[in-house]
Amino acid sequence: MDRKRTVHQLDTPYSTVQWPQVSHDDQETILELLCSLLSPLGHHRRSFITPSKGKRAKRKKRKAAETETAANVVPPAPEVAKDVDLGLANISRSLEKVSATSKQNQHEASEATGQDGVSNESTPEPYAVVFVARSGQPSVFHSHFPQMVAVASKAVPSKQPIRLVGFSAACEDGLSSALAIPRVSSIGLREGAPQTKALIEFVREHVPPVEMSWFQEVESGRFLETKINAVEVPVGNKKQKT
């Protein structure tokens, strides 16, 4: 019979924030619309951007790149590129900036406003939708997104709540192919980009906003005891001395 011992873990007493549920059919439709939107970016990358072969190759070609003629200048990326952010770090920073800038405008309006009554610091345009490939990577990389999306949405109540869509591994492969990059961890899409209306409207109709009930729990001022979990874990056999 396996021996077990009890391990105690401290947990937050507040309600956890869940990812919005998206049906398989809706996920497929969202993926199709998103890949159609992003495919011009992938075409531009394949046609005009040489894949990186490492720092050594980059140093060897640096001098040659400086002597390129104007005929070889890479044309600008499609217009949608300015409204699309890629990568966990970029999107996390943008969400954080939206929340922080809004809070600063509320509490330090007198300092942030110039003589003409217009704010000197403009709040970055919030995302309409954030897409995250959840499969195939540890949850520590994306577990913060529900909280950050909910806080950023609360910071701009005049806007539609930011939608959060979690994708499966199969969807990640399709996004990588559309963007012509090896891996896509997350995509942030701002409203107003060309050809985005159908996608954003479909997401808002079929994906609910992130619910963060612990915001209300904190504001209620009610004391909540620390949650202590008791977990039984197996005890391994002791190694025999040789």
Q: What is the mean pLDDT of each run of 10 residues along the chain (242 residues)?
A: 82 76 92 93 85 63 55 78 92 91 57 48 80 77 89 89 88 88 90 87 95 75 80 78 66
pLDDT of residue 67: 55
Cα–Cα distances in angstroms (integers) from residue 116 to residues 102, 120, 123, 124, in the given order: 20, 10, 18, 21
SS3 4: strand
Domain 18-47+77-108+121-211 in CATH 3.30.1330.30? The answer is: yes
Helices (H) and strands (E) in the chain, counts: 9, 6
d(CA 30, CA 51): 28
Q: Which of 70, 72, 195, 91 is CA-nearest to residue 141?
A: 91
Ranges of each domain in the chain: 1-16+214-237, 18-47+77-108+121-211
β-pairing, 127-133 with 163-167?
Answer: parallel
The amino acid occupying position 107 is H
